[in-house]
């Protein structure tokens, strides 16, 4: 995937910004060196609290809509499991916000001294970002194609307007699919790399980092097949960026794209319900090395948790696959039913046409006989 080349003045600005971040992180890290050296020299196991920082959008923020049951976000669930495994207190800081994009993550959140200080202390860092970048592009394209000046505050509003527009003019579907498919998401790549640079400058060397990929928030919506395929193609491109830099920046990738989590969402079809948050926790803990936090006295507890996580993840995956198969069978049955109905209608039309022809032929013969019999 080709990276977008930024103008020179922007590149210079980026390095000035990164230098400032580096200086802040160095100052924050400076006070911890002697303490870490003492731990390493004595071989004493750390018995202080585990510092955990969670970054991201409404998913780790634990968003739940009006009328929905309250959900416990996956960072809180992970913190609870870390406490069980280690026997240590877990100090968690959630720097999360509904609607957060990768650009806003860089321009606001990662510039905050509190965030950079937590990054310099955290043994565990998790990140979920990217869905709002996609949804904002979807809303922007909807306004442009529909020539609608109304500001869509939610994807539901944009989707409803699209469906109405396509119903009036089916040709709009191709325009929308083309516009979304041609989105230059190299801008997302630049923001992703910038975020990873900042985290890399501030983080502890031994910190574990786990990031999630993006799942299709429109998969459960009533989108035309062509448009849904285009959306999935764009998401796959964004996820390739996330996978691409995993080794360079030393983070674990938690794949949500093929997890079936879109079947575990709230009524808006976008945000995970409690089962969805549980699934993210399980998938993330499967990628993390929990033994790093393990208390020698909790070996059996760790093994039990790992077994439960594996079994639960397999069960969720099987349930999601069964649901997808049911939906596919349902779509096939609906297609067969529609096809049969069309065939019946066509057969009825053919019969009517033949009957009318016979009727006309019979009428013509009767009139010819009358003419031949008349003097």
Give how far Cα 297 sits from Cα of 90, 289, 293, 303, 318, Å.
Answer: 18, 17, 12, 12, 34
Quickly count helices (H) and strands (E) in the chain.
14, 5
**34 has a pLDDT exceeding 50:** no
Q: Which residue has the higher pLDDT, 84 or 217?
A: 84
- Encoding tokens for residue 321? 């696959």
Question: Mean pLDDT across the chain, nearest whole number?
Answer: 77
> Is residue 68 within 8 Å of residue 275, measured between CB atoms?
no
How much is the pLDDT for 32? 39
**28 has a pLDDT exceeding 60:** no
Nearest Cα neighbor of 233 from 277, 182, 284 is: 182
How much is the pLDDT for 273? 95
**366 has a pLDDT exceeding 90:** no
- Encoding tokens for residue 248? 């360079």
From start to end of the chain, where are the E strands?
50-56, 90-96, 124-128, 208-212, 252-254
Compute the Cα dihedral for 11, 17, 21, 23 and give only its sign: positive
CA distance 144 to 97: 27
CA distance 197 to 208: 15
Confidence of residue 79 (pLDDT cuts 50, 70, 90): very high
Instruction: Provide the 10 A C-beta neighbour count for residue 28.
Output: 17
For residue range 275-322, what is the model confidence (pLDDT) as tens digits? 999 999 999 999 999 888 887 665 566 556 666 666 766 666 666 556
First to last CA, the chain: 92
**86 has a pLDDT exceeding 60:** yes
- Encoding tokens for residue 360? 């006309």
* Least confident range of 4-8, 76-80, 226-230: 4-8
How much is the pLDDT for 135? 84
How much is the pLDDT for 44? 33
Confidence of residue 171 (pLDDT cuts 50, 70, 90): confident
Q: What is the mean pLDDT of residues 222-226?
A: 63
Q: What is the mean pLDDT of residues 28-52?
A: 49
Its CATH architecture, for the domain 8-294, is 3-Layer(aba) Sandwich (3.40)
The residues spanned by each domain of the chain are 8-294
> Is residue 267 within 8 Å of residue 273, measured between CB atoms?
no
For residue range 314-339, what is the model confidence (pLDDT) as tens digits? 666 666 556 555 555 554 554 455 45
**69 has a pLDDT exceeding 60:** yes
CA distance 29 to 117: 8
């Amino acid at each position: 995937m080709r990276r977008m080349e930024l103008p020179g003045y922007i590149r210079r600005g980026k390095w000035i910004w990164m230098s400032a971040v580096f200086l802040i992180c160095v100052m924050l890290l400076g006070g911890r060196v002697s303490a870490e050296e003492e731990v390493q020299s004595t071989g004493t196991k750390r018995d202080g609290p585990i510092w955990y920082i969670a970054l991201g959008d409404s998913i780790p923020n634990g968003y739940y809509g009006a009328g929905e049951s309250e959900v416990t976000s996956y960072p809180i669930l992970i913190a609870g499991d870390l406490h069980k495994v280690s026997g240590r207190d877990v100090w968690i800081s959630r720097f999360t916000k509904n609607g957060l994009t990768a650009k806003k993550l860089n321009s606001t959140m990662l510039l905050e001294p509190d965030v950079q200080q937590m990054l310099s202390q955290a043994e565990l860092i998790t990140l979920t970002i990217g869905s709002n970048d996609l949804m904002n592009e979807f809303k922007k394209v909807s306004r442009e194609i529909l020539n609608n000046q109304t500001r869509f505050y939610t994807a539901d509003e944009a989707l409803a307007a699209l469906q109405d527009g396509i119903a009036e003019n089916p040709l709009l579907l191709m325009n929308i699919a083309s516009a979304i498919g041609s989105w230059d998401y190299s801008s997302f790549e630049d923001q992703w790399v910038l975020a990873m640079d900042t985290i890399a400058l501030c983080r502890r060397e031994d910190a574990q980092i786990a990031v999630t990929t993006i799942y299709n928030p429109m998969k459960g919506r009533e989108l035309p097949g062509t448009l849904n395929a285009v959306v999935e193609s764009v998401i796959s491109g964004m996820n390739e960026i996330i996978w691409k830099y995993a080794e360079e920046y030393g983070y674990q990738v938690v794949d949500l794209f093929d997890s079936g989590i879109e079947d575990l969402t709230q009524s808006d079809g976008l945000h995970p319900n409690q089962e969805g948050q549980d699934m993210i926790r399980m998938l993330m803990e499967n990628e993390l090395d929990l033994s790093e936090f393990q208390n020698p006295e909790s070996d059996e507890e760790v093994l039990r948790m790992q077994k439960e996580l594996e079994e639960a993840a397999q069960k969720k995956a099987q349930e999601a696959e069964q649901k997808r198969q049911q939906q596919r069978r349902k779509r096939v049955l609906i297609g067969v039913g529609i096809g049969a109905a069309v065939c019946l209608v066509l057969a009825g039309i053919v019969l009517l046409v033949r009957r009318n022809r016979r009727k006309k032929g019979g009428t013509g013969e009767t009139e010819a006989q009358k003419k031949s019999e008349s003097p």
